[in-house]
Homo-oligomer: A and B are copies of this chain.
Amino acid sequence: MDSVPFQIHERLAKGGFELGRHGICRVLLKNNACYPWLVLVPEVDAETVELHGLSSADYAAVCESIRAASAFVAAHFDCTKVNVGAIGNVVRQLHVHVVGRVEDDPAWPGVVWGHSEKRPYAAAQVGPIRDAFLAATAR
Protein backbone atom coordinates (compact mmCIF):
# COMPACT_ATOMS: atom_id res chain seq x y z
CA MET A 1 0.00 0.00 0.00
CA ASP A 2 1.35 3.42 -0.87
CA SER A 3 1.52 5.78 2.05
CA VAL A 4 0.24 9.29 1.52
CA PRO A 5 3.11 11.78 1.88
CA PHE A 6 2.64 14.33 4.62
CA GLN A 7 1.47 17.71 3.44
CA ILE A 8 0.83 20.86 5.37
CA HIS A 9 -2.80 21.95 4.98
CA GLU A 10 -3.16 24.49 2.21
CA ARG A 11 -4.49 27.20 4.55
CA LEU A 12 -1.58 26.85 6.93
CA ALA A 13 0.96 26.65 4.11
CA LYS A 14 -0.41 29.71 2.31
CA GLY A 15 -0.55 31.72 5.52
CA GLY A 16 3.06 31.39 6.50
CA PHE A 17 6.70 30.73 5.73
CA GLU A 18 8.32 27.43 6.57
CA LEU A 19 11.25 28.01 8.92
CA GLY A 20 12.39 24.43 9.29
CA ARG A 21 11.76 21.39 11.42
CA HIS A 22 11.92 20.74 15.13
CA GLY A 23 11.50 17.18 16.33
CA ILE A 24 8.53 15.78 14.41
CA CYS A 25 7.12 19.25 13.67
CA ARG A 26 7.32 21.49 10.67
CA VAL A 27 7.62 25.05 11.92
CA LEU A 28 5.91 27.91 10.12
CA LEU A 29 6.14 31.64 10.71
CA LYS A 30 2.67 33.03 10.24
CA ASN A 31 2.71 35.84 7.71
CA ASN A 32 1.48 38.48 10.11
CA ALA A 33 4.08 40.92 11.32
CA CYS A 34 1.66 42.22 13.98
CA TYR A 35 2.73 39.31 16.19
CA PRO A 36 5.71 36.95 16.31
CA TRP A 37 3.66 33.84 15.60
CA LEU A 38 4.93 30.33 14.99
CA VAL A 39 2.77 27.40 13.97
CA LEU A 40 4.00 23.88 14.71
CA VAL A 41 2.59 21.15 12.49
CA PRO A 42 3.44 17.62 13.65
CA GLU A 43 4.08 15.24 10.78
CA VAL A 44 1.49 12.68 11.81
CA ASP A 45 -1.31 10.91 10.01
CA ALA A 46 -4.34 12.96 9.05
CA GLU A 47 -6.62 11.14 11.50
CA THR A 48 -4.71 12.47 14.51
CA VAL A 49 -6.31 15.85 15.06
CA GLU A 50 -5.92 16.12 18.84
CA LEU A 51 -2.75 16.48 20.90
CA HIS A 52 -4.03 13.82 23.28
CA GLY A 53 -4.47 11.47 20.34
CA LEU A 54 -0.70 11.37 19.72
CA SER A 55 1.35 8.42 20.90
CA SER A 56 3.25 9.06 24.13
CA ALA A 57 6.51 9.50 22.26
CA ASP A 58 5.02 11.87 19.68
CA TYR A 59 3.22 13.84 22.39
CA ALA A 60 6.45 14.29 24.30
CA ALA A 61 8.24 15.36 21.12
CA VAL A 62 5.57 17.92 20.27
CA CYS A 63 5.59 19.27 23.84
CA GLU A 64 9.36 19.66 23.61
CA SER A 65 8.94 21.58 20.34
CA ILE A 66 6.31 23.82 21.92
CA ARG A 67 8.77 24.52 24.72
CA ALA A 68 11.62 25.33 22.35
CA ALA A 69 9.43 27.50 20.12
CA SER A 70 8.04 29.37 23.14
CA ALA A 71 11.49 30.05 24.55
CA PHE A 72 12.67 31.24 21.16
CA VAL A 73 9.73 33.59 20.67
CA ALA A 74 10.02 35.00 24.18
CA ALA A 75 13.75 35.65 23.89
CA HIS A 76 14.07 36.73 20.28
CA PHE A 77 11.09 39.08 20.23
CA ASP A 78 11.26 40.30 23.82
CA CYS A 79 7.62 39.51 24.60
CA THR A 80 5.51 40.29 27.62
CA LYS A 81 3.74 36.93 27.37
CA VAL A 82 3.73 33.88 25.18
CA ASN A 83 0.35 32.48 24.19
CA VAL A 84 0.15 28.81 23.23
CA GLY A 85 -2.95 27.38 21.60
CA ALA A 86 -4.04 24.14 20.01
CA ILE A 87 -7.42 24.93 18.52
CA GLY A 88 -8.12 23.45 15.10
CA ASN A 89 -11.84 24.19 14.92
CA VAL A 90 -11.50 25.39 11.32
CA VAL A 91 -8.32 23.76 9.97
CA ARG A 92 -8.52 20.29 11.50
CA GLN A 93 -4.93 19.26 10.72
CA LEU A 94 -3.14 19.10 14.08
CA HIS A 95 -1.21 22.32 14.66
CA VAL A 96 -0.13 24.42 17.61
CA HIS A 97 0.18 28.20 17.76
CA VAL A 98 2.99 29.84 19.70
CA VAL A 99 2.47 33.60 19.73
CA GLY A 100 4.53 36.30 21.37
CA ARG A 101 2.49 39.10 22.82
CA VAL A 102 3.28 42.63 23.89
CA GLU A 103 1.06 45.15 25.58
CA ASP A 104 0.74 47.38 22.55
CA ASP A 105 -0.04 44.73 19.97
CA PRO A 106 -3.41 45.07 18.19
CA ALA A 107 -5.22 42.31 20.10
CA TRP A 108 -3.82 42.82 23.61
CA PRO A 109 -5.02 41.67 26.15
CA GLY A 110 -7.39 39.54 24.08
CA VAL A 111 -6.28 36.52 22.09
CA VAL A 112 -5.02 36.77 18.51
CA TRP A 113 -7.31 34.05 17.21
CA GLY A 114 -10.26 35.62 15.44
CA HIS A 115 -8.63 39.03 15.59
CA SER A 116 -8.61 40.62 12.16
CA GLU A 117 -5.53 42.79 12.14
CA LYS A 118 -2.90 41.51 9.71
CA ARG A 119 0.29 42.97 8.29
CA PRO A 120 2.37 40.83 5.92
CA TYR A 121 6.11 40.65 6.48
CA ALA A 122 8.42 42.47 4.10
CA ALA A 123 10.37 39.78 2.21
CA ALA A 124 13.64 40.78 3.84
CA GLN A 125 12.30 40.23 7.36
CA VAL A 126 11.73 36.50 7.10
CA GLY A 127 15.28 35.25 6.46
CA PRO A 128 16.75 36.68 9.68
CA ILE A 129 13.89 35.20 11.72
CA ARG A 130 14.47 31.81 10.08
CA ASP A 131 18.20 32.02 10.79
CA ALA A 132 17.62 33.01 14.41
CA PHE A 133 15.09 30.20 14.94
CA LEU A 134 17.38 27.58 13.46
CA ALA A 135 20.35 28.84 15.49
CA ALA A 136 18.36 28.97 18.73
CA THR A 137 16.87 25.52 18.37
CA ALA A 138 19.83 23.66 16.86
CA ARG A 139 20.56 20.52 18.86
Q: Taking beta carbons and an 8 Å cutoff, which residues of A are in contact with B?
A: 49-52, 59-60, 63, 66-68, 70-71, 74, 80-90, 92, 101, 108-111, 113-114
The main secondary structure of chain A at its interface with chain B is mixed
- In the assembled complex, the Cα of A52 lies from the Cα of B59 at a distance in Å of 16
Give this chain's copy count. 2
Question: A89–B114 contact, CB under 8 A?
Answer: no
Contact check: which of B63, B82, B85 meets A63 at CB < 8 Å? Answer: B63
**Given contacts A67-B59, A109-B90, A113-B111, A81 and B50 within 8 Å (CB-CB):** yes
Question: B51–A84 contact, CB under 8 A?
Answer: yes
Closest chain-B Cβ to A38's Cβ sits at a distance in Å of: 12
